Amino acid sequence: MAVSGRFVALLAVAIVPTVLLGSARAGVAWVVVVVLAAGLDVLLAADPRAVRIERRMPHLARRGSATEGTLVLANDGRRPLRALVRDMWEPSAGHEPNRIRMTVPAGERRVARVRFTPFRRGRRASTGVAVRSTGPLGLAARQAVLAAPGELVVTPPFRSRRHLPSRLARLRELDGETTLQLRGHGTEFDSLRDYVRGDDVRSIDWRATARRQDLVVRTWRPERDRRVVVVVDAGRAGAGRVEDEPRLDTAIESALLLGALATAAGDRVDLVVLDDTVRDRVHGATRTDVVRRFGERLALAEPGLAATDWSAVPGVVDQVTTSRAFVVLLSSLDSVGASADLLAVLPRLTRRHAVVVTSIADPAVERMASGEPEPDHDGPERRGGRVSRLPVGSGAERDVYRRAAAERTLLDADGVGDVARRAGAEVVRGDPTAVPPAVADAYIRAKAGGRL
């Protein structure tokens, strides 16, 4: 049972006769009348347990984007339902409106539209729907929580999608609209066409020329149907926050952009989510479903506490393909100690595959190393419009130590990157917004150079 503000206001009215008449009897009588009216109101209210709940909503929603759904209430009771309905979603689901007032006649149903604007990826769930049925007097209500399980999988925002059109245009220059006249590494036969003035004579197909009694040239295109294996590091290295987001989110954005680009080029893309074991995988995603399948799997990826088992990567890649592949390790190269397992496995991978390793740089560390003030910090002392680099007081001494630590961090990352390059891998380093397009550019370079 729940009481309304009207019930409380009527109880407060009992103060008036008590003060004016100087006796509590009139007040007590008024309170008894109000309580009895509230009890009658509860008896006349519709039974909330006679309400059936039906959800009509999508299974997937993109983080930061609005998605609409409906909530259907069917009144199977004999009395009209005057209800305040609250759908009990997690706050991160961005569900609104939070409370809905509905009037449902007996034996009928009503539909309420709801909107989801989730701000956190993952699986969001509703524990039920709370229905508060108010009586005709509006003094009290009957309340019940009805079981109506709901689930919404919030996929990554895919902000790197804005880089896709420009990379597809570059890819068409290699693979789609224009063909090559000369055969090179990473190319395959495309078609025959008539010779025109200016064609290279080395591209003439003499057998076809003899059959047709006219000059015919061969055209080539970059090879298709290559294998691309994307390994997302979901270990504890992915939990580090850069620009207020975990590194895992940058790896997810890179995987989505590369998957969309590679499938558009006609290659087959596989996804592996790895920490101390293989947490999830997507095999053989196509151009039409790569973003949906990758997004649905990566939505549930969370960085764990265990270290990533990089020694399992060669075996995982061999399970995908025994041919040469383009392997992308979406992790971060920080220091020799933290990246030792990853560096140890690189020679085994680079012997057979083209390997790209990402390294996510923290802009805050770079600003600290260069002596630039933080956005919320006054920074070094300014003299004559110029920034003074001289230590001034204990605060400046702390800044010197911070700069030294930042320089040490950057030198360690550069050293680990050099070790990875000597092992035969290509290292892509940048801030979280620059890494996804840089990974796509590395794929295009490998495609153009015939390294797939």
CATH of the domain at 76: 2.60.40.10
Higher-confidence position of 387 and 217: 217
For residues 216 and 228, membership in a common domain is answered with: no
CATH of the domain at 427: 3.40.50.410
Q: Are 105 and 75 in contact (CB under 8 A)?
A: yes
pLDDT for the residue 1: 77
**pLDDT, tens digit, for every residue of 311-327?**
999 999 999 888 889 99
Rounded-to-integer distance, Cα 49 and Cα 128, Å:
13
Q: Indicate whether 181 pLDDT > 50.
A: no
Residue with tokens 């693979």: 175
Q: Are 300 and 308 in contact (CB under 8 A)?
A: no
pLDDT for the residue 182: 46
Confidence of residue 21 (pLDDT cuts 50, 70, 90): low
Confidence of residue 22 (pLDDT cuts 50, 70, 90): low
Confidence of residue 69 (pLDDT cuts 50, 70, 90): very high
Q: Indicate whether 381 pLDDT > 80.
A: no
Instruction: Give buried/exposed letters for 40-65 (b at 16+ CB in 10 A, else e).
Output: ebbeebbbbebbebebebeeebbbbe
For residues 290 and 270, membership in a common domain is answered with: yes
Looking at residues 222-233, what average pLDDT do you find? 82
Rounded-to-integer distance, Cα 277 and Cα 313, Å:
10
Rounded-to-integer distance, Cα 294 and Cα 160, Å:
14
Single out the residue in 221, 243, 260 at which a domain terminates. Answer: 221
pLDDT for the residue 190: 62
**pLDDT, tens digit, for every residue of 348-369?**
999 999 999 999 998 888 888 8
Residue 183 within a domain: no
Run of H or E including 315: helix 313-320
Residue 389 within a domain: no
Looking at residues 20-48, what average pLDDT do you find? 83
Run of H or E including 206: helix 206-212
Q: Are 251 and 210 in contact (CB under 8 A)?
A: no
Q: Are 325 and 356 in contact (CB under 8 A)?
A: no
Helix (H, G, I), strand (E, B) or coil at 387: strand
Q: Are 111 and 101 in contact (CB under 8 A)?
A: no
Rounded-to-integer distance, Cα 188 and Cα 220, Å:
5
For residues 194 and 128, membership in a common domain is answered with: no
Structure tokens at 169: 């245009």
Q: CB 84: neighbour CB atoms within 10 A?
A: 17
Single out the residue in 221, 240, 272 at which a domain terminates. Answer: 221
pLDDT for the residue 419: 93
Domain count, the chain: 3
Structure tokens at 144: 């019940």
Rounded-to-integer distance, Cα 304 and Cα 239, Å:
8
Helix (H, G, I), strand (E, B) or coil at 331: coil
Residue 404 within a domain: yes
* Greatest alpha-carbon span in the chain: 123
Q: Are strands 227-233 and 268-274 parallel, antiparallel or unpaired?
A: parallel
Print the domain residue range for 199.
190-221
**pLDDT, tens digit, for every residue of 408-444?**
888 988 999 999 999 999 999 999 999 999 999 999 9
Residue 2 within a domain: yes
For residues 108 and 208, membership in a common domain is answered with: no
> If you average pLDDT over every residue of the chain, what do you get?
84
For residues 279 and 425, membership in a common domain is answered with: yes
For residues 309 and 437, membership in a common domain is answered with: yes
For residues 210 and 256, membership in a common domain is answered with: no
In 3D space, the residue among 301, 312, 146, 300 whose CA is nearest the CA of residue 229 turns out to be 312
